[in-house]
Amino acid sequence: MLYRMGLLLCCFTWLHAQDTITVIGIGRLGLCTALSFEHAGYHVLGVDINPAYVASINNKGFNSPEPRVNEFLQESNNFKATCSFDEGLNFSDIYYIMVDTPSTTSKEAYDHSKLGKVLSEINKRKVKNKHVVIGCTVFPGYIRTVGRFLLRDCINTTLSYNPEFIAQGNIMHGLQNPDIVLIGEGSSEAGDTLETIYRNVCANEPRICRMSPDSAEITKLAINCFVTTKIAYSNMIGDIADKTPGADKFAILQAVGGDKRVGNLYLKPGYGFGGPCFPRDNRALGSYAQQVGIDPIIPQATDAANKLHTQCMIDQFFAENREEYMFESVTYKDNCAVPIIEESQKLVIAAALAKKGKRVVIVDVPAVVAEVQQAFGDIFEYRTI
């Protein structure tokens, strides 16, 4: 009888370790991550500090502008949220940390203060036999120099890095259909655990890239920096074509992208890159390169080229001398389902024209218009659609 009870206890412990996940920080990305885990069959507990937000998730009254979030939340049976940190730590042996790491005032690094507080709180509990996973973007070297130190009193506890490559306004699709899954594993066991989770979560068969946390921290920035470089290069070619009689920038870049060494993705002329990720990740890679003694000429040139292109567009628009300048879909990228205007190049151009005395009208959905009004006040006229 004692043997059978012990066997049942062992089975329960194994199921607890393998089938439950705690997500600490269930903001926009954290909630999407938690719901993706739940959709894949895991029991998930989300931890957040906002009681009203937690209640709205638990009663399924929360309404998100992110596509499919409401659908996944309504269909969920094994996801709930709590404000209790201890409840979250007791729930699972896998802790995903998804708090925000915003840019510092210099915009060349990340503010790790919230992340550090979470790790310190975990350390205070002196947890044992856990896998801690950082999903938010960090500066290279953070896990080795800070993260592991903050978990110094935790026994047999790993710290891994597992950032996502998603686009705001399409997060759920991105989580379930990634090109790659980046795992900076704290141990082989932690890497195996994370790989298994993603094999269950992903609807496609992504390339699983397992490496050291330091390598993964650099990889995260390197990928985004390459994309921004490609965008800046495309716009430079477009500007050259615009200054050349008879040249067609669209035909040129379509041909360039036809070479398989280049590829067509992100190789179209248009507005410069903006948003909450690309600009800051590009600058962060440059900042880290300087710290280790490498001259970051490529990320610096990319950032400079992005600004030059925007100024070129300002000059072109101003030279047209229109009675009215109308800008539609002014989020940081076209057709974005969420009202994010951070470093929107359309708004940079619109503001420059308004400051030159031009009449500028912003046309967008009410949520976006409200964001623009809060940021820019009365320098624009506004229309909602």
The pLDDT tens digits of the residues spanning 90-149 come to 999 999 999 999 888 766 689 999 999 999 999 999 999 999 999 999 999 999 999 999
CATH topology of domain 2-211: Rossmann fold (3.40.50)
Mean pLDDT, the chain, rounded, equals 93
Nearest one of 93, 98, 91 to 136, comparing CA atoms: 98
Give me the DSSP letters along 309-357.
HHHHHHHHHHHH--S-EEEE--SSSTT-SS---TT-HHHHHHHHHHHTT
What number of helices (H) and strands (E) belong to the chain? 16, 11
pLDDT of residue 157: 98
Q: Are the C-beta atoms of 228 and 273 separated by less than 8 Å?
A: yes
Does the fold of domain 222-384 match that of domain 2-211? yes
**Beta strands across the sheet bearing 79-82:** 79-82, 43-47, 20-24, 94-97, 131-134, 158-161, 180-184, 207-211
Q: Find all residues with CB under 8 Å of 227, minimum gap 6, and list them.
A: 266, 273, 278
Q: Which CATH superfamily is domain 222-384 in?
A: NAD(P)-binding Rossmann-like Domain (3.40.50.720)
Structure tokens at 100: 């925000």
Q: Find all residues with CB under 8 Å of 307, minimum gap 6, and list them.
A: 272
For the chain, the domains span 2-211, 222-384
Quickly state the pLDDT bin for 338 (edges 50, 70, 90). Answer: confident
Q: Are the C-beta atoms of 340 and 275 separated by less than 8 Å?
A: yes
The pLDDT tens digits of the residues spanning 47-79 come to 999 999 999 999 999 999 899 999 999 999 999
Question: Is it the case that residue 1 has pLDDT exceeding 60?
Answer: no
pLDDT of residue 167: 86
The pLDDT tens digits of the residues spanning 30-40 come to 999 999 999 99
The pLDDT tens digits of the residues spanning 137-167 come to 999 999 999 999 999 999 999 999 999 998 8
- The span from the CA of 335 to the CA of 356, in Å, is 28
How far is C-alpha 18 from the chain's CA centre? 26
Q: Are the C-beta atoms of 162 and 195 separated by less than 8 Å?
A: no
The pLDDT tens digits of the residues spanning 256-307 come to 999 999 999 999 999 999 998 899 999 999 999 999 999 999 999 999 999 9
